[in-house]
Chains A and B, each alone.
Chain A
Amino acid sequence: ETGVTQSPTHLIKTRGQQVTLRCSSQSGHNTVSWYQQALGQGPQFIFQYYREEENGRGNFPPRFSGLQFPNYSSELNVNALELDDSALYLCASSSSGTGSSGELFFGEGSRLTVL
């Protein structure tokens, strides 16, 4: 158990719809990173939030957006869903500002299927 919880665990959407995925970070962690993991692939970095501000973004279009709240929980929003957005979306929390090595604590993910 990492203490990181994600919801929903599974969901099905159709092309063009919008989706919001939620993540509660581990207690004491101020940083949340979101990853997209397609089947058989490694997680791809979407973006990171640190103290409610976006702190870096991977190669994802603007229709992928996020929020971090004062309690450090976070949301990932995806607009105008495409078939290729079908994937496991992983949230990871960490405590930045310490020159940390990269130990991320992952949730179990939200499996999104776009039809």
Chain B
Amino acid sequence: GESVGLHLPTLSVQEGDNSIINCAYSNSASDYFIWYKQESGKGPQFIIDIRSNMDKRQGQRVTVLLNKTVKHLSLQIAATQPGDSAVYFCAENAARDDKIIFGKGTRLHILP
């Protein structure tokens, strides 16, 4: 069945270092994989997505990697800043119709 999960619930990173948030998925039929960021008291915010026929996509300070062989997705944040503190969700769009299935989330703590 469809499921999106995460390896670690909490990640602490020194300010200025790179962050890597990992995610496992089980639905090989998903067309897109997406990362959302949710700050306290706010709704999730789209960060970046990657289509299933790609293995890497870069945005501003973020890179998403997709390894379909092991069904693994990761989000890399370069030069982590205090404003990156949030819960990060991986998600998948399995049906190309905006029905997004979310995982449980990883909380990112930025250490001074």
User: Which residues on A are within 8 Å of B, measured CB to CB?
Assistant: 2, 4, 31, 33, 35, 40-45, 48, 55-56, 90, 92, 94, 96, 99-109
Q: Are B102 and A44 in contact (CB under 8 A)?
A: yes
Chain A residues with CB below 8 A from B43, complex form: 2, 4, 90, 92, 106-109
Q: Kindly provide the distance from the CB of A4 to the nearest chain B CB, expressed in whole angstroms.
A: 8
B contacts with A, residue count (CB < 8 A): 26
Q: Are A102 and B100 in contact (CB under 8 A)?
A: yes
The verdict on B26 contacting chain A, using a C-beta distance below 8 Å, is no
Taking CB as reference atom, which chain B residue is nearest A2? B43
A contacts with B: majority SS: loop
The verdict on B80 contacting chain A, using a C-beta distance below 8 Å, is no
Option from B4, B34, B44, B104 in Cβ contact (under 8 Å) with A101? B34
Chain A residues with CB below 8 A from B97, complex form: 48, 55-56, 96
Q: Are B46 and A41 in contact (CB under 8 A)?
A: no
User: Which residues on B are within 8 Å of A, measured CB to CB?
Assistant: 4, 32, 34, 41-46, 49, 51, 89, 91-93, 95-105
Option from B49, B92, B93, B102 in Cβ contact (under 8 Å) with A43? B102
* Closest 5 pairs (CB-CB, A-B): A106-B43, A102-B93, A42-B102, A101-B49, A101-B32
Docked pose: A42 CA to B2 CA in angstroms: 14
Chain A residues with CB below 8 A from B41, complex form: 108
Q: Are B105 and A42 in contact (CB under 8 A)?
A: yes
Option from B96, B100, B105 in Cβ contact (under 8 Å) with A33? B100
Chain A residues with CB below 8 A from B49, complex form: 101-103
Q: Kindly provide the distance from the CB of A93 to the nearest chain B CB, expressed in whole angstroms.
A: 9
List, sorted by A's number, 27 A–B pairs whose CB atoms are closer than 8 Å.
Answer: A31-B98, A33-B100, A35-B102, A40-B105, A42-B104, A42-B105, A43-B89, A44-B102, A45-B100, A45-B102, A55-B97, A96-B98, A101-B32, A102-B32, A102-B34, A102-B91, A102-B92, A102-B98, A102-B100, A103-B46, A103-B49, A104-B44, A104-B100, A106-B43, A106-B45, A107-B43, A108-B42
